């Protein structure tokens, strides 16, 4: 398998150039890590110059020209701009999607084995408010709700059954079939890349699981899904109440806590791990990872951005079995 890893530059009006440069300085002498950037060469150069960060950049038009890891190679994607930190929203949106599409193409044809995309501004590039990069790539691969957003730390990971939808639509969006699809994808990932069958805790939807009343989602949907998955050999448990599960993680030694909606699991997880986590899209025929934070517009041009989540994204690939 090709050992090249791509990093998609992401939102141009952000701290992405800064965290890329800081990450490069950490890994440039590591012979086991060979990555390049998909983004605009001129933008990256000018932003780093403004930040007074010096690194050896080299423009690419083909990955065949990558000869060593002593230079930071940039696969050049077109972007018109005058001020490197003030990008026209329409031009910026097209640029981000072009970068993602190129990474998707290179991964599907096995030119690269995976890619990491730096943070993007979802509101700017996706007209559909339910759409994020996870959903965008899933649609391109026609996954039909089998994709999973996994927020991963080696100690614990979390995954929501539904992602970027309004709370009022969660109850009618979950189903036995959807839960089963997501758990199968999650289980397959752990077995394939981490060489273990994960121990999975599944949360209920309502406070205190609505006391398991017969008209509750727990009784009608979540418990039947868990029973069905158990009968197929999956290591699933629950449903558990969301207000205590993170306190009991060590007691039950779970690998993954699965919630019914985005913030049910991401809010406590980010409180606990902050930047020490990465976002992985499961279900694709390649691996896509991203730092678990946003574009940090408040830190642009200040040279104070924390690169740890991008660093952890790269470190993840040295741990998995490929």
**CATH number for position 310:** 3.40.718.10
> Which of residues 131 and 174 earns the better pLDDT score?
174
What is the per-residue pLDDT for 31? 67
Confidence class for position 175, pLDDT limits 50, 70, 90: very high
- pLDDT of residue 44 exceeding 90, the answer is yes
What's phi and psi for 151, nearest 5 deg? -100, 115
Q: Are residues 209 and 256 in the same domain?
A: yes
Neighbouring C-beta atoms of residue 54, cutoff 10 Å: 10
Most confident of 62-71, 133-142, 157-166: 157-166
Q: Are residues 167 and 291 in the same domain?
A: no
Q: Are residues 131 and 247 in the same domain?
A: no
In a 10 Å sphere around its CB, with 0-12 CB exposed, 13-18 middle and 19+ buried, how is residue 31 labelled? exposed
- pLDDT of residue 19 exceeding 50, the answer is yes
Q: Are residues 17 and 90 in the same domain?
A: yes
Confidence class for position 71, pLDDT limits 50, 70, 90: confident
Segment 30-45 mean pLDDT: 88
Percent of the chain predicted with pLDDT > 70: 94
Where does residue 213 fall: left (phi above 0), alpha (psi -120 to 50 degrees), or beta otherwise?
beta
Cα distances from 274 to residues 22, 137, 156, 271, 278, in angstroms, run: 19, 25, 13, 6, 10
Q: Are residues 236 and 298 in the same domain?
A: no
Q: Are residues 185 and 271 in the same domain?
A: yes
d(CA 26, CA 8): 18
> What is the tally of structural domains in the chain?
2
Q: Are residues 218 and 296 in the same domain?
A: no
Segment 244-260 mean pLDDT: 85
- pLDDT of residue 84 exceeding 60, the answer is yes
What is the per-residue pLDDT for 282? 95
Tokens of 302: 């200040």
Segment 144-149 mean pLDDT: 87
Segment 28-33 mean pLDDT: 70
What is the per-residue pLDDT for 247? 81
Segment 244-267 mean pLDDT: 88
Which of 129-138, 146-155, 207-216, 272-281 is predicted least confidently? 129-138
Neighbouring C-beta atoms of residue 299, cutoff 10 Å: 15
- pLDDT of residue 60 exceeding 90, the answer is no
Q: Which residue has the tokens 């190679």?
A: 73
Q: Are residues 193 and 297 in the same domain?
A: no
What is the per-residue pLDDT for 1? 38
- pLDDT of residue 250 exceeding 70, the answer is no
What is the per-residue pLDDT for 128? 63
- pLDDT of residue 319 exceeding 90, the answer is no
Q: Are residues 255 and 217 in the same domain?
A: yes
DSSP calls for 265-291: HHHHHHHHHTTS-EEEEESSSSEEEEE
Confidence class for position 127, pLDDT limits 50, 70, 90: confident
Nearest to 78 by CA among 59, 54, 63, 64: 59
Mean pLDDT score across all residues of the chain: 90
Q: Are residues 52 and 26 in the same domain?
A: yes
> Which of residues 28 and 27 earns the better pLDDT score?
27
Confidence class for position 322, pLDDT limits 50, 70, 90: low
What is the per-residue pLDDT for 292? 79
Segment 109-126 mean pLDDT: 89
Write out the residue range of the structural domain in which residue 92 sits: 1-143+284-322
Which of 29-33, 92-96, 218-222 is predicted least confidently? 29-33
Which of 117-126, 168-177, 197-206 is predicted least confidently? 117-126
Beta-strand ranges (E) seen in the chain are: 5-8, 35-39, 57-60, 72-76, 114-117, 148-152, 157-160, 200-203, 236-240, 256-259, 278-282, 287-291
Segment 203-222 mean pLDDT: 92
Q: Are residues 30 and 110 in the same domain?
A: yes
Q: Are residues 215 and 198 in the same domain?
A: yes
What is the per-residue pLDDT for 26? 85
- pLDDT of residue 4 exceeding 50, the answer is yes
């Amino acid at each position: 398998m090709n050992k090249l890893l791509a990093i998609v530059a992401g939102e141009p009006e952000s701290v992405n150039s800064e965290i890329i440069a800081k990450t490069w300085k950490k890994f440039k002498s590591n012979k086991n890590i060979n990555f390049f950037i998909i983004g605009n060469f001129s933008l990256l150069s000018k932003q780093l110059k403004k930040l007074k960060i010096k690194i050896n950049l080299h423009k690419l038009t083909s990955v065949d020209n990558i000869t060593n890891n002593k230079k930071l190679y940039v696969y050049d994607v077109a972007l018109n701009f005058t001020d490197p930190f003030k990008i026209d929203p329409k031009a910026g949106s097209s640029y981000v999607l072009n970068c993602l599409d190129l990474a998707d193409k290179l991964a599907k044809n096995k030119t690269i084995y995976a890619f990491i995309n730096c943070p993007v501004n979802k509101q700017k590039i996706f007209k559909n408010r339910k759409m994020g990069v996870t959903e965008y790539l899933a649609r391109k691969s026609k996954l039909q709700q089998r994709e999973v957003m996994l927020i991963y730390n080696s100690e614990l990971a979390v995954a929501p059954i539904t992602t970027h939808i309004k709370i009022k639509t969660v109850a009618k969006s979950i189903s036995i079939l959807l839960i089963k699809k997501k758990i199968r994808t999650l289980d397959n990932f752990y077995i394939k890349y981490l060489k273990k069958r994960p121990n999975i805790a599944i949360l209920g939807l309502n406070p205190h699981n609505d006391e398991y009343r017969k008209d509750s989602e727990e009784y009608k949907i979540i418990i039947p899904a868990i029973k069905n998955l158990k009968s197929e050999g999956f290591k699933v448990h629950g449903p558990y109440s969301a207000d205590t599960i993170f306190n009991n993680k060590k007691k039950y030694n779970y690998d993954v806590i699965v919630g019914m909606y985005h913030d049910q699991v991401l809010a406590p997880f980010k409180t606990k791990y902050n930047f020490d986590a990465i976002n992985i899209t499961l279900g694709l025929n390649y691996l896509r990872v991203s730092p678990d934070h946003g574009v940090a517009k408040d830190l642009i041009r200040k040279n104070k951005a924390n690169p740890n989540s991008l660093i952890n994204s790269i470190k993840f690939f040295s741990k998995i079995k490929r």
